[in-house]
Amino acid sequence: MPGDTPDRQIPLHGLSIAVVGGNRSTYYAAYWLRLMGYKFDDQSSDAAIVITAGAVDREKANDHPDASALIRLWDFQVGQAGTGIHASAVAGVSSTIGYPDGPGEPLPADMPEKWCAGYGVILALAEAWRRKSEGGGPRSVYDLSAADVMRTFSLQNAGDEAEIARRWRRNGRICVEHGGIFPMGFYACRDGYVAILGRSRRDWRNIRAAIGDPAWARLPKFEDPFMLARDSAEADRLLEETLSAFDRDDLLDRGLAAEAVIAPVYTQDEAGARGIFREGLLGPNGPAMPFLATPISRRRKKTSERRPAIQHAGMPLSGFRCVELCWVWSGPMVGQILADLGAEVIKVEAPGRFDLYRTRGLEHLRGKMHEKTRIESSIYFHSLNRNKLGLSLNLKAPTALLATCDLISQSDLVIENFTVGTMERLGLGPDVLGEANPSLVSLSMSGPGRGSSVEALRSYGLVLSALGGAESKICDESGFLGSPTFSISDPNAAVFATMAALAGALRARGTGTGSAIDISQIEAAATLAGTPVPEATRHETVLETADGAYVAVSVPLKAFKSLAATRAALCALDKAAVRAECLRVGGEMVELVELDVSDASPAFADYSGWVPSSHPYTGEEMLVAAPWRIAGARPATRKPAPLLGESNDYVLRQILELDEEMISALEKHDGETAA
């Protein structure tokens, strides 16, 4: 690794950011900034960038007219009173956690407010970049709510309207239809629960090997995981019977040995005691940031003139260039956030090993649809990769590696979410990149993180949040539930990674010192779930009213003696009476909303969660919008998701200024990979 000792903070100097408290989201925004290394000074009232609590009563609102950027955070929804429990209820989260005949459960530990705060910090750091780059900028006013953030997370992973209606609902500890391929969910074992995922036939074979290849699993009717997902009751029962012979630690070891996606549901303390986290994460006051940042202290051997990035007037990250070597969700989501804020994000893919999200939701059409059309038609890919450029390179070819290294040398940030060691094997390790560009921020996003005791773990979201202690907190009165459908890990890791990337870029802009940042998605789940929650001031719960409605309520502590008393009193009333009683005691109530009808919810009546786009293959379509509003509107889509290799001409000829001989050689290697 280049440079000095890794640190869990990135010093942020010369910024002018203030956080004006008033709600949970602003509390966590200040917490994240301090945890990352920002020191608030005594002149915060004169700050250029102000993060503040949104005020329902506009007459009492302080819009800080002297601030050049104002970021208003809302615990529930813009212009509406409420808390994170209400955000969970309306955003497609509580509708997936719990049992089919129950009211659903909210996310615990202030997760909604913590994510809202994370986005608030991202916007503040982006505005700080604008001021360091341009020396100023127009006044920008943002609104950001926990409900919009979580609905964005839900919609990005939920599919089209028909798929949402069929699968995005409560089903205990197992996903409805296992998300299309068996298995996917939480299963009981001898001493607790484990998360098990199979996303391919190979995964199912490896899972069977890890648990001793039981005789029942070798029967023909259990061979095809796609067919099993449609009617899994018998397979679920037999799998859990087999798992009852193993404890969690044994299953983790067996899963690692067989390359199977199996991970225990640990509490944070259990994970810490087993060495799952890297040194320095857990402290007496809560977890640290989930990354290790190493300053790059090398000097560039040769200086090459940087070609400027595409400018997007009025956007905070205009002129910022990011090279994205990522696939699936967490890494591309970092690129999505940066691109939505105006960065030039160049997505690099190999023709024969493209981002798997290009065919997400279209797997069953392989051989039934022209392959070029299929890899350009996934709505999942289109949402996560809008506003990006597309570069096609076979990174196993020496000429392509040289071109990639040259591109990175002219960039502010490179992101990758490969398994640990892949970049080194490609010849793009931190030493090489640091020598090419000592002011570069290199962001690695493997699931466990480099140096973890489970570094070799095959990483899907559910196992990462299980190991990080986040899933263990999701319970109902009967015990452990987990969140098998609403994915915590991927979007959570993206939020922490984007904060770290922008902090590193700001340090590089101010000092010339780049960073190699290694984020652990397991640790990101631990930081989210384990960050201490302020003392409760309200009783909050999701309950069923006397007339059968499911509602989320939040009332002051003084209104009832206990949470149990709150539930007993309100469950005896019909929905209208519960609403009236909540208002009487100074609380709030919202009805639980299923995701497929959330467009019609009063919580989202003023602004849609979608933005229009036009794609060359699929035509006019609606993409999942960014969760923030600027000047009252969602950020517009500047361009659709890139076709595979669509920006080769711009990157190779205009940025890198390669000659025709080199370009021909690169195209030849691309053709070999595609074949």
Beta bridge partners of 416: 325, 444
DSSP 670: H
Can you give the pLDDT at residue 160? 77
Task: Indicate the pLDDT class of residue 673, thresholds 50, 70 and 90.
Answer: low
Task: Compute CA distances 482 → 84, 94, 166, 248, 279, whole Å.
Answer: 18, 12, 20, 16, 27
Can you give the pLDDT at residue 672? 60
Pairing of strands 413-416, 479-480: unpaired
Can you give the pLDDT at residue 163? 83
The two three-digit tokens of residue 610, written as one number: 């979608």
Q: Which domains are present in the chain? A: 17-159 (3.40.50.10540), 171-264 (3.30.1540.10), 286-453+486-530+636-674 (3.40.50.10540), 538-597 (no CATH)
Q: What are the E-state strand segments in 461-561? A: 475-476, 479-480, 515-519, 538-544, 550-556
* Residue 111 neighbours by CB distance under 10 Å: 26
* Residues recorded for the chain: 675
Return d(Cα 174, Cα 98) in angstroms, integer: 10
Can you give the pLDDT at residue 1? 43
Does residue 282 have a pLDDT over 90? yes
Can you give the pLDDT at residue 37? 92
Can you give the pLDDT at residue 565? 97
Cis peptide before 220 (omega within 30 of 0): no
The 10s digit of each residue's pLDDT in 111-127 is 999 999 999 999 999 99
Whether the CB-CB separation of 531 and 28 falls below 8 Å is answered with yes
Residue (of 531, 536, 472, 40) closest to 283 by Cα position: 531
Return d(Cα 218, Cα 203) in angstroms, integer: 15
Can you give the pLDDT at residue 21? 82
- Give the alpha-carbon dihedral of 668, 671, 672, 675, to 10 degrees: -160
Which of the residue ranges 188-202, 348-362, 496-510, 640-654 would you say has the lowest mean pLDDT?
A: 348-362
* Residue 227 neighbours by CB distance under 10 Å: 13
Pairing of strands 184-189, 192-197: antiparallel
586: left (phi over 0), alpha (psi -120 to 50) or beta: left
Task: Indicate the pLDDT class of residue 435, thresholds 50, 70 and 90.
Answer: confident
* 269 compared with 300, residue with greater pLDDT: 269
Does residue 531 have a pLDDT over 80? yes
Whether the CB-CB separation of 378 and 327 falls below 8 Å is answered with no
Return d(Cα 489, Cα 111) in angstroms, integer: 12
Can you give the pLDDT at residue 303? 47
Residues 38-57 have a mean pLDDT of 84
Pairing of strands 479-480, 475-476: antiparallel
* 607 compared with 92, residue with greater pLDDT: 92
Return d(Cα 390, Cα 384) in angstroms, integer: 13
Q: What percent of the chain has pLDDT over 90?
A: 75
What is the SS3 assignment for 522? helix
Does residue 306 have a pLDDT over 80? no
Which of the residue ranges 266-275, 346-355, 635-644 would you say has the lowest mean pLDDT?
A: 346-355
Task: Compute CA distances 140 → 27, 51, 65, 314, whole Å.
Answer: 22, 12, 11, 9
Does residue 675 have a pLDDT over 50? no
DSSP 381: H
Q: What percent of the chain has pLDDT over 70?
A: 96
Average pLDDT, the chain: 92
Residues 662-672 have a mean pLDDT of 77
Which of the residue ranges 80-84, 87-91, 187-191, 301-305 would you say has the lowest mean pLDDT?
A: 301-305
* 161 compared with 632, residue with greater pLDDT: 632
Does residue 302 have a pLDDT over 70? no
Tally of CA atoms within 13 A in the half-sphere of 643 that contains its CB: 12
**Phi, psi for 263 (deg, rounded to 5):** -150, 140
Can you give the pLDDT at residue 105? 94
The 10s digit of each residue's pLDDT in 572-627 is 999 999 999 999 999 999 999 999 999 999 999 887 889 999 999 999 999 999 99
Residue 277, amino acid: F
The two three-digit tokens of residue 449, written as one number: 């993180």
Return d(Cα 313, Cα 457) in angstroms, integer: 43
Residues 382-404 have a mean pLDDT of 93
Return d(Cα 180, Cα 461) in angstroms, integer: 16
What is the SS3 assignment for 518? strand
Residues 144-166 have a mean pLDDT of 90
How far is C-alpha 357 from the geometric centre of its chain's CA atoms? 15
Burial (CB count <10 Å: 0-12, 13-18, 19+), residue 164:
buried
Pairing of strands 69-74, 140-145: parallel
